Amino acid sequence: MNDKPKLNLERVPIPKQAPEERATNFDEVALGYREEQALQEAGRCIDCKKPGCKDGCPVNVDIPGFIRAMKDGDMPGAVRILKSKNSLPGICGRVCPQETQCELTCNLIKKGAPIAIGRLERYVADWEIAHPEAVERGGQEARRNGRRVAVVGSGPAGLTCASDLAKLGYGVTLFEALHVAGGVLMYGIPEFRLPKTIVQGEVDYVKSLGVEIRLNHVIGKIATVDELLEQGFDAVFLSPGAGAPMFLDIPGENLSGVYSANEFLTRTNLMKAYLFPEYDTPIQVGRRVAVFGAGNVAMDASRCALRLGADEVYIIYRRSLTEMPARLEERENAEEEGIIFRLQTNPIRLVGDEQGRVRAVELYETELGEPDESGRRRPVRKPGSEFTIEIDTAIPALGTRPNPIIPLSTKGLELTRWGTVLTDEATGRTSKDRVWCGGDMATGAATVISAMGAARRAAIDIDAWLKGSG
């Protein structure tokens, strides 16, 4: 490719369900590129000598490589290249914050139209699912080397570490507290953003590598980390996520109808409350819903509430649009669907009725002052701006903390002051011998791809360490 290709700065848009239609169903919002669209978008990649895109990806996917294979019509090749670095492309292509990662560093961003890397990645992954025979998935069990590793938690970090180690010949047992594997991918991120069959496909693949998945196993309760080590596991990789929800700490928070985003999403996604009473788990939404916070989790909760039948769903956020942490794409999706953004607004208290059900929220408006330690402008109460809105459901979506079960039950595991496990970023090692950690438990709430990247580095280090220890 020596002639300088002509730059095409038109990103191919991804087909989506129409907003008014999708707001009433749980089917996937983005429909994915058709073949000609994918090839047209791939054709825009100029195969840079110094591809910036790769540096923006936490696991350094060979982006120009897989796009080149697509352009050459070698789809199995594209799958292989992609998966050599990212074992869950169907998931990352859908949920990675590409605009702050690979697409932010794509050389074309200076011209304003980076390659839609995530959408291409998704296209390649979905092609593989549709053509299961075309690519050798390496599903056969690797020859066992006789060493055993326990992986705790089956989110993206756990799935990645388990599959990497199984491929290297380790006997891997993956322990999961819930009744299904997948972590946040199953209980948190809604079906309309990440279909559960995709996650299930990845879990099945991990099983096909010989990984034993033991559901309903809360480590720290049914067995401690120390017991796992005593029972013959040579190493333990901790990936229990950071799933404990935080609340607003305002009066009225224990009223009925106040759900943490985690509870709201778990009832909806994991327990399928949107199919109640066909499924047994109930959920209450009512007419008006207030979601507090403006991250991805808040977007997911508000969009679920809408799909569950709410008439009005508010996102209540104390800062402005500029500071909003949610992905742009999700914010736009939410806006299109009719979510109402009440920015620079903060709650004072939740008000209930005699039955103890939430009925209203008192709020005040904010002005933005000087930046605080997070670098974002600090919201300050605007005097006299108090007002009340009537609501039937309140959903604090304020982020999560590490769950205390493993820290409390594991001797000699040093923690940071945020309650995460003190972990060496390059290797995943913890302060405890033979124990590694990765994902949200090591970093605090982060992203799918960063959890996978950490798990992959830990798998490499576990392998090296176990080989070294004879």
Partner 1 sequence: MYRIVKKELLVPNTIYLQAEAPEIARKAQPGQFVIMRVDEVGERFPLSLAGWDEKAGTLDVIFLIMGRSTMKLASLSEGDCIMDIVGPLGKATEIESYGNVLCACSTFGVGPAIPLAKALRERGNRVISVMEARDEGFLFWEDRLKEVSDETHIASGDGCRGKHRRASEFITEHLKSGHKLDRVFAYGRVFMMMECSRATRPFGVKTTVALTPVMVDGTGMCGCCRVSVGGETQFTCVDGPEFDGHSVDWEVLIKRKRAYLREEAQAYDLWQPDNLRKIAGLAGLPERSSAV
Ligand X SMILES: Cc1cc2nc3c(=O)[nH]c(=O)nc-3n(C[C@H](O)[C@H](O)[C@H](O)COP(=O)(O)OP(=O)(O)OC[C@H]3O[C@@H](n4cnc5c(N)ncnc54)[C@H](O)[C@@H]3O)c2cc1C
297 touches, from ligand X, partner 1, ligand SF4, none (C-beta below 5 to 8 Å by class): ligand X
Could you identify the residue written with the tokens 């089956």?
Answer: 154
Q: Where are the beta strands (DSSP E) in 163-287?
A: 171-175, 212-214, 235-238, 244-245
> Side by side, which strands form the sheet with 171-175?
212-214, 171-175, 148-152, 235-238, 435-437
Task: Check if the beta carbon of residue 97 is closer than 8 Å to that of residue 327.
Answer: yes
Task: Check if the beta carbon of residue 31 is closer than 8 Å to that of residue 16.
Answer: yes
356 touches, from ligand X, ligand SF4, partner 1, none (C-beta below 5 to 8 Å by class): partner 1
Q: Does 271 bind ligand SF4 (CB under 6 A)?
A: no
> What H or E segment, with its residue span, contains residue 330?
helix 328-337
Triad 218, 215, 239: Cα angle to 5°: 55
Interface mask (CB under 6 A) for ligand X, residues 137-166, using x and -? ---------------xxxxxxx--------
Of residues 121 and 164, the one with the C-beta less far from ligand SF4: 121
Of residues 316 and 363, the one with the C-beta less far from ligand X: 316
Residue 333 has phi, psi (to 5 degrees) of -60, -45
Task: Check if the beta carbon of residue 72 is closer than 8 Å to that of residue 126.
Answer: no
Q: Are strands 288-292 and 393-396 parallel, antiparallel or unpaired?
A: parallel
Shortest reach from residue 134's CB to ligand X, in Å: 28
Task: Check if the beta carbon of residue 432 is closer than 8 Å to that of residue 247.
Answer: no
271 touches, from ligand X, partner 1, ligand SF4, none (C-beta below 5 to 8 Å by class): partner 1
Q: Does 177 bind ligand X (CB under 6 A)?
A: yes
Half-sphere exposure of 133 (CA within 13 A, CB side): 0
Alpha helices (H) in 245-295, listed in sequence order? 261-265
Q: Which of 276, 335, 415, 444 binds partner 1 (CB under 8 A)?
A: 276
45 touches, from ligand X, ligand SF4, partner 1, none (C-beta below 5 to 8 Å by class): ligand SF4
Peptide bond into 89 cis (omega under 30): no
Interface mask (CB under 6 A) for ligand SF4, residues 66-105, using x and -? --------------------x-----xx--x-x--xx---
The count of other CB atoms within 10 Å of the CB of residue 456 is: 22
Of residues 44 and 429, the one with the C-beta less far from ligand SF4: 44
As a whole number of angstroms, the distance between CA 201 and CA 235 comes to: 27
Q: Does 46 bind ligand SF4 (CB under 6 A)?
A: yes
Interface mask (CB under 6 A) for ligand X, residues 93-132, using x and -? --xxx-----------------------------------
Residues 277-316 contacting partner 1, CB under 8 A: 277-282, 284
Q: Which of 103, 126, 164, 300 binds ligand X (CB under 6 A)?
A: 300
Shortest reach from residue 350's CB to ligand X, in Å: 21
257 touches, from ligand X, ligand SF4, partner 1, none (C-beta below 5 to 8 Å by class): partner 1
Q: Does 440 bind ligand X (CB under 6 A)?
A: yes
As a whole number of angstroms, the distance between CA 394 and CA 379 comes to: 21
101 touches, from ligand X, partner 1, ligand SF4, none (C-beta below 5 to 8 Å by class): ligand SF4
Q: Does 403 bind partner 1 (CB under 8 A)?
A: yes
Shortest reach from residue 169's CB to ligand SF4, in Å: 26
Q: Which of 32, 52, 65, 240 binds ligand X (CB under 6 A)?
A: 240
Contacts of 242 by beta carbon, 8 Å cutoff, 6+ apart: 400, 401, 402, 403, 420, 440, 441, 444, 445
Q: Which of 113, 135, 178, 380 binds partner 1 (CB under 8 A)?
A: 178
Q: Long-range contacts: 52-56, Cβ < 8 Å, 24+? A: 52/105, 52/106, 52/107, 52/109, 53/102, 53/103, 53/105, 53/106, 53/107, 53/114, 53/115, 53/117, 54/102, 55/105, 56/101, 56/102, 56/103, 56/104, 56/105, 56/106
Could you tell me the two tokens for 217?
A: 């196993």
Shortest reach from residue 217's CB to ligand X, in Å: 6
Q: Does 226 bind partner 1 (CB under 8 A)?
A: no
Contacts of 5 by beta carbon, 8 Å cutoff, 6+ apart: 46
As a whole number of angstroms, the distance between CA 182 and CA 203 comes to: 7
Residues binding ligand X (CB under 6 A)? 95-97, 152-158, 175-178, 183-184, 188-189, 217-220, 239-241, 243, 265, 296-297, 300, 403, 405-406, 439-441, 445-449, 451
Binding site for ligand SF4 (CB under 6 A): 45-48, 51-53, 57, 59, 61, 63-64, 86, 92-93, 96, 98, 101-102, 106-108, 115, 117-118, 121, 449
Residue numbers of the site for partner 1 (CB under 8 A)? 177-179, 187, 215-218, 221-223, 243-245, 247, 253-257, 259-260, 262-263, 266-267, 271-272, 275-282, 284, 355-357, 403-405
